[in-house]
Amino acid sequence: DGGITQSPKYLFRKEGQNVTLSCEQNLNHDAMYWYRQDPGQGLRLIYYSQIVNDFQKGDIAEGYSVSREKKESFPLTVTSAQKNPTAFYLCASSIHPGAGDTEAFFGQGTRLTVV
Amino acid sequence: KQEVTQIPAALSVPEGENLVLNCSFTDSAIYNLQWFRQDPGKGLTSLLLIQSSQREQTSGRLNASLDKSSGRSTLYIAASQPGDSATYLCAVSRWNTGFQKLVFGTGTRLLVSP
């Protein structure tokens, strides 16, 4: 089945620790995105990537880092510089606009909690 | 700055009722509008995508309309079922210097009672 796989489903981070969230897609999509969801707020864009080896900051990139070494993978690292990391993280992908359908598809999310 | 508002924030209806969820946006220069469903603790499931040149899209019991000039979209759910209980999110897409940026509303939480 084609789709987006996020792992782990739950993640616990100690103070001062870096953690990495995994996102893999087999939809052959060019564009990939990371969003953060907090209660009572809309999803906010952290980082996005249009092609391999290229990525751009979104609206709330501080304290996060990403890489895009393969088309199908877009891992997100939450660094110790992110002061309020407890949230639900969602990865998404879409065919690069210009190819027609630009529907966005999402993974099942990773819930990160600081302990 | 694009802002997306969804009204009501929560809605409770008995099974079988037809209902309408509303989404409004402040900037009409959108690429498309997408409706999603989110179950508690889960990711987003795409329901309908309306391109900026379209007026509506239908999928089963769902019908979404788009009026760009007034900055509004509605999601109509016919003959609601308890399985429709979830949070419904709308998102508008802008083409911004080479990428598609989605701006989300905060959602409408729907409860359909048996």
CA nearest A51: which of A93, A7, A101, A104?
Answer: A93
Nearest to A104 among B4, B46, B107 (CB): B46
B107, closest residue in chain A (CA to CA): A42
pLDDT band at A95 (very low <50, low <70, confident <90, very high): confident
State how far the Cα of A45 lies from the Cα of B1, in Å rounded to an integer. 14
Considering only A26-40, B16-30, B32-46, B91-105, which range has the smallest mean pLDDT?
Answer: B91-105
Q: Which of residues 92-111 of B touch A (CB under 8 A)?
A: 93, 95, 98-107
Whole-angstrom distance between the N-terminal and C-terminal Cα of chain B?
A: 41
B12, containing H or E segment: strand B10-14
Q: Vertex B34, ends B30 and B38: CA angle to 5°?
A: 145
pLDDT at A18: 94
pLDDT at A115: 86
Question: For residues A5 and A24, is the Cβ–Cβ distance under 8 A?
Answer: yes
Question: For residues B22 and B72, is the Cβ–Cβ distance under 8 A?
Answer: yes
Q: Do B49 and A56 lie within an 8 Å CB cutoff?
A: no
Residues B12-56: pLDDT tens digits? Answer: 999 999 999 999 999 988 888 999 999 999 999 999 999 888 999
Specify the pairing of strand A110-114 against strand A10-13.
Answer: parallel
pLDDT band at A97 (very low <50, low <70, confident <90, very high): low
Whether pLDDT at A1 is above 70: no
- What tokens does A13 get? 């981070």
pLDDT at A21: 97
State how far the Cα of A95 lies from the Cα of A74, in Å rounded to an integer. 15
Nearest to A41 among B49, B95, B106 (CB): B106
pLDDT at B73: 97
Chain B neighbors of A109, CB-CB under 8 A: 41-43
Whether pLDDT at A100 is above 70: no
